[in-house]
Amino acid sequence: MKTKVLLLLLGLLFVTGAYSQSTVIRVPLIGETAPSFTAESTNGTIMFPEGYGRKWKVLLSHPADFTPVCSSEILELASEQKEFDKLKTQLVIVSTDDLERHINWKKSLESLNYDGNGQQEINFPIVDDHTKAIANPYGMIQPNSGSSKDVRGVFIIDPSNTIRALYFYPGTTGRNMEELKRTIVALQTSDKETVLTPANWEPGKDVMLPYATSGSDNTAAANPDPNTYQLTWYMMYKKQK
């Protein structure tokens, strides 16, 4: 009887929101379907991720508009827009600021010459999440920090809307956009060629074959393909032409 009463009380606390936020907020993991949302943005109403069809998608969260590190990240992404277009990848930016603040920040950013790149148009949407309807299902707010600001989150989502990679940076540290592009290229290469990418891999470098392919002392003799070679029996490489 006591157990039933306790469970009932816990259920009521969850419903009313009185229970600790740390027990209900979780980060969606690799292999899970990306949580959907419809929201207002600097590009109008968007539906994510379904609204972007068979593209790859990158959802990036940031703590606040009109802050130094966030501003440098947005300007760097804007300067790399053509590179992401080549990768058929849609960028979507989100924070807990409201739409009016996003619009004013965007106008200010587009007037700047950052890192010698000249003034940049910001073509990707910056999404209003002042209700935290996006931040919560994506686990972007640290529940015990006392802050209502998003961490610097990154979710890389494939054309089937599955989360393929994610990482978080602290508020003091800007993200490396070259690493973001490298990760997307690595994932696309793995999907296309059924291969792996080794440590510090960069586009154009040799890739690795899955363990099921390389896991034999006799693999090299059995496989006459001149484009493959072994470092040892459990590490087989494939040359990138």
Q: Is 185 a catalytic residue?
A: no
Burial status of residue 24 (CB atoms within 10 A of its CB: 0-12, 13-18, 19 or more): exposed
What is the C-alpha separation between 40 and 44, in angstroms, rounded? 6
What is the C-alpha separation between 83 and 71, in angstroms, rounded? 19
| Neighbour-count burial for 2-16, b at 16+ CB within 10 Å, e otherwise | eeeeeeeeeeeeeee
Q: What are the tokens at 151? A: 């961490």
Residue in the structure block whose two tokens are 């989502």? 157
* Type of residue found at 10: L
Q: What are the tokens at 18? A: 């009185």
Number of continuous H segments (helices) and E segments (strands) in the chain:
7, 10
CA-nearest of 49, 24, 32, 22 to 166 is: 32
Alpha-carbon 102 to chain mean position: 20
Active-site residue, from 25, 70, 141, 156: 70
Q: Please report the DSSP string for 166-193 in residue order.
A: EEEE-TTS---HHHHHHHHHHHHHHHHH
Enzyme catalytic residues: 70
